[in-house]
């Protein structure tokens, strides 16, 4: 066996351990009934929604078997949308075998194994619960739900049904982020003292930018916090551990906007001359104390000129530090105190070597990958879970824990007090007792 192949096998063994707590009954594995595709078992996907994330997920599902060799393979079986012309055109363009105009009908179909939810946040809970009751595996976009209570009901439903579940926090699947996790787990940074993370954007700054669903509480649950904050909370939980308490603040800079929508090419469109109240935050910031004693500083905003997707973090430990920036996502900056004095400094590691998680499946070293590959890698993890019978992290349990941090930040911003996350979760018998369970 070549050393590259054996390193890839070691990586998969390390990355996808069979989690006993998520191990499900074998019946869910044999429920995949589609015709075998060569030696592979098909996982027939039904996707609900087909715009921004619909495009990212469709592309990723198609590319999984192109780059990765697994025992199961995704099949783009059917996509659902409300507008027949729109969903038909999307199905043709993105390579789906069929379409439905009613998501319930999609879930009812016998030829669907996995439901992929890529619709706005207010639809996640109902769709996921109906899908779980129908015995379908589920991938759900973030944030898991509008509220902590809703997210708990979703977790209860998937656990009761014994289906595989995952939430789409794709950034932790960048090879550089996975490598950061490996360095932390190997103790290269020693005890972790600090994490500071931002996700900064600027698309919403024009006061005439319309009130799209992302700025309406009844559809989105919260503003930039649930949209971008949820991603950096996931990175924090993945890399540093569970958050114990937070102190937050939030601000809405523009209080009224013209009503409108997004067109299919992701450009805003104003509907007539009516205006509406903005009832979610444009910016949020919070301090956090981790259960392991580390301190966190987090900031998310849509009002940071020049920042298109400033998803960045720095983690500092007793023996070293790491930095990552999504706009330069192949690179990880690493400082190690053990380096010879005089040569000490941040080095930039281009995480495209076979030693870097997932990277070996793509191109020769130095041949970089991009945003869409984070989704492909996540789908690979999901397929591994479906093949072997466990729900890979991040799953709905991570979604509930993430939602608790979001809710704690909102409550803290409202009350001006520090909020405890374990207290918000304490009545949740559905959560496992183990505190940190990110793989
Ligand atoms: N993982 C990420 O990085 C990431 C990035 C962007 C968005 N998201 C999440 O993905 C989800 C979708 O966001 P998006 O940017 O793709 O939104 P979008 O507005 O681009 O697309 C939403 C899709 O859902 C459809 N839809 C809306 N309500 C529906 C309903 N009731 N029934 C059926 N279809 C319905 C719309 O027609 C559209 O096809 C959100 O939860 C969002 O938070 C995740």
What does the pLDDT read at residue 430?
75
What does the pLDDT read at residue 28?
40
Can you tell me whether residue 404 is helix, strand or coil? helix
Measured in angstroms, how far is the CA atom of residue 117 from the centroid of ligand 1? 8
Measured in angstroms, how far is the CA atom of residue 126 from the centroid of ligand 1? 14
Q: Whose CA is nearest to atom 21 of ligand 1?
A: 51
Contact 189, 183 (CB under 8 A): yes
Report the atom number in ligand 1 closest to the C-alpha of 168: 1
Contact 325, 312 (CB under 8 A): yes
Measured in angstroms, how far is the CA atom of residue 220 from the centroid of ligand 1? 10
Measured in angstroms, how far is the CA atom of residue 213 from the centroid of ligand 1? 9
Q: In terms of residues, how long is the chain?
A: 439
Contact 135, 123 (CB under 8 A): no
Strands 72-80 and 98-100: what pairing?
A: parallel
Rounded to an integer, the average pLDDT of 163-191 is: 98
Give residue ranges with CB within 6 A of ligand 1.
Answer: 48-54, 81-82, 103, 118-121, 123, 141-142, 168, 170, 227, 262
Report the atom number in ligand 1 closest to the C-alpha of 375: 1
- Token pair recorded at residue 419: 């909020």
Question: Of all residues in the chain, what percent are helix, strand and coil, respectively (each to 5)?
Answer: 40, 25, 35
Whether the per-residue pLDDT at 17 is higher than 60: the answer is no
- Say what percent of the chain tops pLDDT 90: 84
pLDDT for 113-130, tens place per residue? 999 999 999 999 999 999
Measured in angstroms, how far is the CA atom of residue 142 from the centroid of ligand 1? 10
pLDDT-based confidence at residue 303 (cuts at 50, 70, 90)? very high
Q: Whose CA is nearest to atom 43 of ligand 1?
A: 142
Q: At what angle do helices 230-239 and 396-415 cross, to 10 degrees?
A: 120
Rounded to an integer, the average pLDDT of 298-327 is: 98
Measured in angstroms, how far is the CA atom of residue 257 from the centroid of ligand 1? 21
CA atoms within 13 A on the CB side of 127: 31
* pTM for this model (two decimals): 0.92
- Say what percent of the chain tops pLDDT 70: 89
pLDDT-based confidence at residue 267 (cuts at 50, 70, 90)? confident
pLDDT-based confidence at residue 59 (cuts at 50, 70, 90)? very high
pLDDT for 77-136, tens place per residue? 999 999 999 999 999 999 999 999 999 999 999 999 999 999 999 999 999 999 999 999
Whether the per-residue pLDDT at 6 is higher than 70: the answer is no
pLDDT for 367-426, tens place per residue? 999 999 999 999 999 999 999 999 999 999 999 999 999 999 999 999 999 999 999 998
Q: Which of 51, 204, 219, 264 has most ligand 1 atoms within 8 Å of CB, for mutation?
A: 51
- Token pair recorded at residue 408: 């704690």
Rounded to an integer, the average pLDDT of 18-23 is: 35
What does the pLDDT read at residue 1?
38
Contact 51, 33 (CB under 8 A): no
Report the atom number in ligand 1 closest to the C-alpha of 53: 16
Whether the per-residue pLDDT at 159 is higher than 50: the answer is yes
Measured in angstroms, how far is the CA atom of residue 391 from the centroid of ligand 1? 23
pLDDT-based confidence at residue 11 (cuts at 50, 70, 90)? low
What does the pLDDT read at residue 247?
98
What value, to the nearest 5°, has the Cα angle with vertex 288 and ends 225 and 407?
40
Measured in angstroms, how far is the CA atom of residue 255 from the centroid of ligand 1? 24
pLDDT for 196-241, tens place per residue? 999 999 999 999 999 999 999 999 999 999 999 999 999 999 999 9
Q: At what angle do helices 52-67 and 84-94 cross, to 10 degrees?
A: 30
What does the pLDDT read at residue 20?
32
Q: Which of 46, 53, 150, 378 has most ligand 1 atoms within 8 Å of CB, for mutation?
A: 53
What does the pLDDT read at residue 434?
44
What does the pLDDT read at residue 98?
98
Mean pLDDT, the chain, whole residue set: 91
Rounded to an integer, the average pLDDT of 39-61 is: 97
């Amino acid at each position: 066996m070549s050393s590259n192949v054996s390193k890839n096998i070691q990586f998969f063994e390390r990355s996808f351990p069979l989690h006993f707590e998520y191990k499900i009954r074998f019946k869910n594995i044999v429920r995949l009934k589609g015709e075998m595709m060569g030696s592979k078992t098909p996982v027939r996907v039904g996707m609900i929604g087909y715009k921004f994330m619909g495009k990212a997920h469709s592309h990723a599902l198609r590319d999984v078997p192109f780059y990765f060799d697994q025992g199961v393979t995704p099949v783009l079986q059917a996509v659902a949308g409300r507008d027949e012309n729109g969903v038909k055109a999307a199905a043709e363009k993105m390579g789906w075998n069929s379409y439905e105009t009613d998501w319930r009908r999609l879930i009812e179909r016998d030829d669907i194994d996995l439901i992929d939810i890529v619709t706005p946040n207010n639809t996640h809970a109902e769709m996921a619960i109906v899908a779980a009751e129908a015995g379908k595996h589920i991938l759900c976009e973030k944030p898991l739900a509008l509220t902590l209570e809703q997210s708990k009901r979703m977790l209860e439903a998937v656990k009761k049904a014994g289906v595989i579940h995952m939430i789409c926090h794709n950034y932790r699947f960048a090879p550089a982020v996975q490598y950061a996790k490996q360095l932390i787990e190997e103790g290269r940074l020693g005890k972790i003292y600090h994490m500071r993370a931002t996700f900064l954007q600027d698309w919403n700054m024009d006061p005439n930018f319309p009130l799209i669903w992302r700025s309406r509480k009844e559809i989105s649950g919260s503003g930039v916090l649930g949209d971008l904050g949820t991603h950096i909370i996931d990175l924090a939980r993945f890399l540093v551990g569970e958050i114990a308490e937070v102190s937050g603040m939030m601000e809405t800079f523009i209080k009224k906007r013209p009503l409108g929508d997004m067109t299919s090419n992701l450009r805003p469109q104003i509907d007539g001359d009516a205006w509406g109240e903005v009832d979610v935050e444009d910016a949020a910031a919070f301090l956090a104390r981790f259960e392991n004693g580390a301190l966190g500083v987090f900031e998310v905003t849509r009002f940071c000129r020049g920042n298109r997707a400033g998803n960045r973090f720095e983690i500092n430990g007793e023996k070293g530090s790491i930095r990552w920036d999504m706009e330069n996502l192949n690179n990880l900056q690493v400082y190690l105190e053990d380096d010879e004095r005089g040569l000490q400094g941040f080095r930039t590691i281009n995480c495209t070597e076979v030693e870097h998680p997932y990277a070996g499946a793509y191109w020769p070293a130095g041949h970089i990958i991009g945003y869409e590959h984070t989704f492909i890698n996540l789908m690979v993890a999901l397929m591994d879970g479906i093949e072997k019978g466990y729900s890979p992290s991040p799953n709905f349990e991570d979604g509930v824990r993430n939602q608790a941090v979001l809710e704690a930040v909102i409550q803290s911003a409202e009350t001006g007090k520090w909020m405890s996350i374990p207290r918000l979760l304490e009545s949740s018998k559905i959560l496992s007792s183990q505190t940190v369970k990110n793989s």
